[in-house]
Each structure stands twice: as structure tokens, then as C-alpha cells.
């Protein structure tokens, strides 16, 4: 994690073996969630376990099969380590995600689903703790974001929001990355840029976006 992001996270690192949530910002991203999936893949490829070769496979669960494995290669993630699975609906994906986390054997479990109830989130979180498997829940609403989605009390350890941003000088893709909630950390918002394919950080921070409340909270803490 780049220093600016690490400063907001508890202990300065992304906690492992717990549940993380990510959601798209607005626009068509809400429907296809490509940017969210891209951030998750960059994060996944740089989890400590994956540094040694031949680690455990990752499970990627989705409601629809439009994830294109060759696209993961450019993000530094080996598609050969993925086990892809398709569920009928959100409930099936969440139940399968819980089974995948609870059973062990996977290095991390990624699930794409829409609404997450508090109970389901709690169950996922407990399932993560059981084997120390990291869970990533990517929010995605194929038919548009329903009213009130994302306003629930956070149950996961961190919750991120990713949106697109115009690319920089060299044509490197950029995103607006917001840490909405971190247990034991503070929220923040940044403009980030894709790093090299084999960089150790998933993204490079270009600028810290003004967020007076968060900045004040950080000053108070720090």
C-alpha cells in the first residue's frame, strides 16, 4: 500500500483474513463494475500469500460470466490461479462465497453481488475469520443502484469506493479511490494511477482529494 493509503488503514496495512467491501461510484460502472473488479484484481495479485509462487487458488464468484480472464493478466494477476464460478443470483453467490470461505483451501474469495444484508455480511466476516481467508465483496447492480444501497451500517472491516477519472499525461489510467470506512482507521479520498505491472503497490497516489472532515479527523488523531 502506498504511504498515503497506509496512513488511513489500521496498522498501516490492509488487514488480511477479513472481509472487505468495494463499490462503484456512479454511472455505468454501477452496472458492469469493471473498475471495481480491476482494483480488486490488482489488490489480489499483491496479497502477501501470492508473492511466493504456487500459492492457493483464488475463488471468483459472479452472478454473470462476463469477467474476461486475459484482461487480468495486464493487471498482474495470473488467471491460471483463479477458479471462476457462476451463481444464479445474489443469494446464491453470497451463500457460495460463505461456503468457499468456510471450507478453506482458497487463498482469497471474491464475490460480486448487489445488496448485502447485515446478517449476510456478519456471516461472511465470521467465515473469513475461521480459516484466515481474505474475502472481497464487490458490489454490483446490473439494473442500476437501488435506493438506499450502500447506506447500511458498515459490517466489513474496510469499505472502498472506486470511480473513473480522466487519465494522466502518459495515458496511465486514473481512478478516484475513496476509503469510506475502515475499522480502526480513518476515511480518505485520493486520485490514484495505475502503477507498473509488477509494482508492489496496487496503485500510485497522484493527489489527495480535499475532504475537510477526513483531514480534520486525521489531524486530530495524528
Partner 1 sequence: MWLPNWPILRLQRSGAASAEQPVVTVASERGQRRLACVCPLAAEAGLRVGQALAEARALCPALDVHEAVPEEDAAALGRLAEWATRFTPLAAADPPEGLWLDIAGCAHLHGGEDALCAAIARRLGETGFPARLAVADASGAAWALARCAGGGTRVVAPGGERAALEDLPVGLLRLDDRAVAALRRVGIRRIGALAGLPRAEVAARFGALPALRLEQAFGTAEEPIAWPMPARPWQEARRFAEPIAAPEDLMRALALLAEALGARLEGQSQGARRFVARFLRVDGGVPAIGIATARPVRDAAYVLKLLAAKLETVDPGFGVEAVTLEAQALGSLAGAQAALDGRAEAGADLAATLDTLIARLGEDALWRPSPLGSHVPERAVGRAPPLTAVAWPAQLPDRPLRLFTPPEPIEATAAVPDDPPLLFRWRGRLHRVRAAAGPERIAAEWWRRTPDATRPAHDFIRDYYRVEDQQGGRFWVFRVGLVGVPRWFLHGVFG
Spatial distance between the Cα atoms of 163 and 159, rounded to a whole number of angstroms? 14
Spatial distance between the Cα atoms of 34 and 57, rounded to a whole number of angstroms? 22
Torsion from C-alpha of 203, 75, 108, 106, nearest 10 degrees: -150
CB 206, min distance to partner 1, A: 13
Element (H, E) at 51: none
Spatial distance between the Cα atoms of 5 and 208, rounded to a whole number of angstroms? 10
CB-wise, 58 or 186, nearer to partner 1? 58
Select from 26, 59, 22, 18 the least CA-distant residue to 37: 22
Phi, psi of 134 (to 5 degrees): -80, 135
CB 127, min distance to partner 1, A: 11
CB 14, min distance to partner 1, A: 19
Element (H, E) at 48: none
CB 168, min distance to partner 1, A: 10
Spatial distance between the Cα atoms of 153 and 202, rounded to a whole number of angstroms? 27
Query: All 3 cell numbers of residue 142?
Result: 446490473
CB-wise, 12 or 69, nearer to partner 1? 69
C-beta separation of 79 from 41 below 8 A: no
CB 146, min distance to partner 1, A: 18
CB-wise, 14 or 37, nearer to partner 1? 37
CB 189, min distance to partner 1, A: 15
> What value does the CA radius of gyration of the chain take, rounded to a whole number of Å?
16
Spatial distance between the Cα atoms of 31 and 46, rounded to a whole number of angstroms? 26
CB-wise, 19 or 37, nearer to partner 1? 37
CB-wise, 38 or 185, nearer to partner 1? 38
Contact footprint for partner 1 (CB under 8 A): 27-29, 31-39, 41, 56-57, 59, 66-75, 78-80, 82-87, 92, 95-96, 99-100, 103-106, 164-167, 171, 173-175
CB-wise, 106 or 160, nearer to partner 1? 106
Amino acid at each position: 500500500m502506498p504511504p498515503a493509503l497506509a496512513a488511513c488503514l489500521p496498522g498501516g496495512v490492509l488487514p488480511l483474513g477479513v472481509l472487505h467491501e468495494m463499490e462503484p461510484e456512479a454511472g455505468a460502472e454501477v452496472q458492469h463494475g469493471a473498475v471495481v473488479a480491476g482494483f480488486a484484481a490488482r489488490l489480489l495479485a499483491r496479497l502477501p500469500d501470492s508473492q511466493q509462487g504456487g500459492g492457493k487458488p483464488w475463488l471468483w464468484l459472479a452472478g454473470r460470466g462476463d469477467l474476461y480472464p486475459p484482461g487480468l493478466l495486464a493487471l498482474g494477476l495470473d488467471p491460471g490461479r483463479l477458479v471462476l464460478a457462476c451463481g444464479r443470483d445474489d443469494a446464491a453467490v453470497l451463500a457460495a462465497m460463505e461456503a468457499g470461505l468456510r471450507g478453506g483451501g482458497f487463498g482469497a474469495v471474491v464475490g460480486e453481488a448487489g445488496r448485502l444484508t447485515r446478517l449476510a455480511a456478519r456471516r461472511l466476516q465470521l467465515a473469513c475469520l475461521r480459516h484466515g481467508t481474505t474475502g472481497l465483496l464487490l458490489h454490483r447492480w446490473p439494473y442500476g443502484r437501488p435506493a438506499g444501497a450502500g447506506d447500511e451500517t458498515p459490517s466489513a472491516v474496510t469499505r472502498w469506493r472506486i470511480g473513473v477519472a480522466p487519465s494522466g499525461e502518459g495515458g496511465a489510467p486514473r481512478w478516484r479511490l475513496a476509503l469510506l470506512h475502515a475499522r480502526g482507521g480513518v476515511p480518505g479520498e485520493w486520485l490514484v494511477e495505475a502503477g507498473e505491472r509488477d509494482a508492489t503497490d496496487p496503485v500510485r497516489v497522484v493527489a489527495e482529494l480535499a475532504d475537510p472532515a477526513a483531514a480534520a479527523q486525521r489531524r486530530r488523531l495524528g
